[in-house]
Amino acid sequence: MDSEEFRKWSHVAAEWGADYRAMLRDRPVRARTQPGAIAAQIAPSPPEAAESMEAIFADFEEQILPGMTHWQHPRFFAYFPANAAPVSVVAEYLVSAMAAQCMLWQTSPAATELETVMIDWLRQALGLPEGFSGVIQDSASSATLAAVLTMRERALDWQGNRAGLSGHKALRVYCSEQVHTSVDRAIWVAGIGGDNLVRIPTSGLWRSMDVGALEAQIIRDRQAGLLPIGIIPCVGGTSVGGTDDVAGVCAVARKHGLYVHVDAAWAGSAMICPEFRHFWAGVEDADSVVFNPHKWLGAQFDCSVQFIREPESLVKTLAIQPEYLKTHGKDGVINYSEWSVPLGRRFRALKLWFLLRAYGLEGLRTKIRDHVRWSEALAARIGREPRFEIVTEPMLSLFSFRHRAPEGRDGDEHNLRLVNAVNDAGRIYLTQTRVDGRVAIRFQAGQFETTEADVDAAFDAITDAAELLN
């Protein structure tokens, strides 16, 4: 592809992207293909000769697009949003065109310095105190792994990376049953072992970790010759929004010398609204905090921010400095590759800069407040329907519900049939979970283009599908 073809197809791709976003409401939200159907259309071997862009682009539209689930669809109410606000997409065009490798300050000074400033913009936006710095990770999974590695090294007097874990007491990390499975994976990868991730019972409206039970377990573990190293509370857990008492957890951690990493991957974005900050009261005492601007805030994936109280501990855990990665003759620079597990780094800060300037904090707050208000209204409306019940009340814009099965029919099977019927119809997209061992259906509003009418349409899609099951 020469420069003129690059110009032509860049225009084609940009026009296609704008048309795609404009027409999303006319598409079913979820892909309607059977397993293997897409692969069967693709040549089994790579081509020996070059093919034309016209042919490639046509095949993209005919073969690939039908197999895509449309995460930017305004009626995507499943999982959590993976937003890509249009201005963020434009920024990503520029990032892709420059294709910079931003691992060190010297490999792109603007990328490093803009990241530093964007972290502080977001710190201010979320109401976190001065003293927190941070880094843009690819995802909350990577941020949590970095935090677990840091708590491990701190507890082992920085000897784990050098000597390994053999010969040490078994390490213990504490969380609730509501945390994301990325916590489990971080424990595995860090060599701590899944058996040493201790799940503390939860209770109350927000399914919070029992702080008294947490402290009692830490004491028992120490008495048993084990080594407690950290606690991972969550704010807005994936299943139904489980939210721990962060202040209480941090108080226990301080008492026992443990590291606290707060997982607020989804709900953290809502903290730009001061009225929601009670959900993570006490967060200023945490050692690290993760939230994903690529979820509710509108930044295109991947873009996860990890705030850190003492970056020296993180760098001491992760930094490796061979001669070819040193920056000579420049003092006081940050090399963010030393703050994360991967060496390679994309220019993620640019889309945050575009996004925050194009919408402003008040514009972003309005979107989040609307999503919360519309979800609360939908939950109330569903709850008034005779055969529906609200299983978990709205935590911000996330709630769960269940439809009562006809006499003699298994309730779990019935609700799985309902969520499948809703999704097969294509008008909206929902996912299921389990609450107290029983199937429930999740609803979460957060897609950037969602309107109140889209949320109202969800009510019709849900009740219509339920009526057809009877």
pLDDT surpassing 50 at residue 324: no
Mean pLDDT within 384-400:
95
| DSSP bridge pairs for 390 | 401
363-469, what's its fold? Aspartate Aminotransferase, domain 1 (3.90.1150)
- In angstroms, the CA 219 to CA 257 distance is 12
User: What pLDDT, on the 0 to 100 scale, is given for residue 370?
Assistant: 97
User: What pLDDT, on the 0 to 100 scale, is given for residue 446?
Assistant: 94
- In angstroms, the CA 77 to CA 230 distance is 33
Q: Which residues 6+ apart lie within 8 Å of 366 measured at CB?
A: none
User: What pLDDT, on the 0 to 100 scale, is given for residue 325?
Assistant: 54
pLDDT surpassing 70 at residue 38: yes
E runs forming strands in 88-241 = 133-137, 171-176, 197-200, 202-203, 208-209, 227-232
pLDDT surpassing 70 at residue 301: yes
* Boundaries of every domain in the chain: 3-73, 101-346, 363-469
Are the C-beta atoms of 192 and 230 separated by less than 8 Å? no
Report pLDDT digits (tens) over 136-150: 999 989 999 999 999
Going by pLDDT thresholds of 50, 70 and 90, the confidence category of residue 326 is: low
User: What pLDDT, on the 0 to 100 scale, is given for residue 213?
Assistant: 95
User: What pLDDT, on the 0 to 100 scale, is given for residue 331?
Assistant: 59
pLDDT surpassing 80 at residue 177: yes
Report pLDDT digits (tens) over 73-127: 999 999 888 899 999 999 999 999 888 888 888 888 888 999 999 999 999 999 9
pLDDT surpassing 90 at residue 404: yes
Which of the following CATH numbers is that of domain 101-346: 3.30.360.10, 3.30.70.980, 3.90.79.10, 3.40.640.10? Answer: 3.40.640.10
pLDDT surpassing 70 at residue 445: yes
Q: Which CATH architecture has domain 3-73?
A: Up-down Bundle (1.20)
User: What pLDDT, on the 0 to 100 scale, is given for residue 87?
Assistant: 94
Mean pLDDT within 239-246:
94
User: What pLDDT, on the 0 to 100 scale, is given for residue 178?
Assistant: 84
Are the C-beta atoms of 429 and 77 separated by less than 8 Å? yes
Closest-CA residue to 147 (of 277, 308, 35): 308
User: What pLDDT, on the 0 to 100 scale, is given for residue 320?
Assistant: 74
pLDDT surpassing 60 at residue 329: no
Mean pLDDT within 450-468:
95
Report pLDDT digits (tens) over 21-34: 999 998 999 988 88
User: What pLDDT, on the 0 to 100 scale, is given for residue 327?
Assistant: 53
Mean pLDDT within 298-325:
84
E runs forming strands in 270-324 = 288-291, 304-308
Q: Which of 37-51, 246-260, 275-289, 318-332 has the lowest mean pLDDT?
A: 318-332
pLDDT surpassing 60 at residue 418: yes
Mean pLDDT of the chain: 92
Q: Which residue has the higher pLDDT, 165 or 74?
A: 74
Q: How far is CA 328 from CA 320, 323, 331, 359, 459, in A?
A: 15, 10, 8, 39, 61
Model-level pTM? 0.91
Q: Which of 156-160, 309-313, 323-327 has the lowest mean pLDDT?
A: 323-327
pLDDT surpassing 70 at residue 330: no
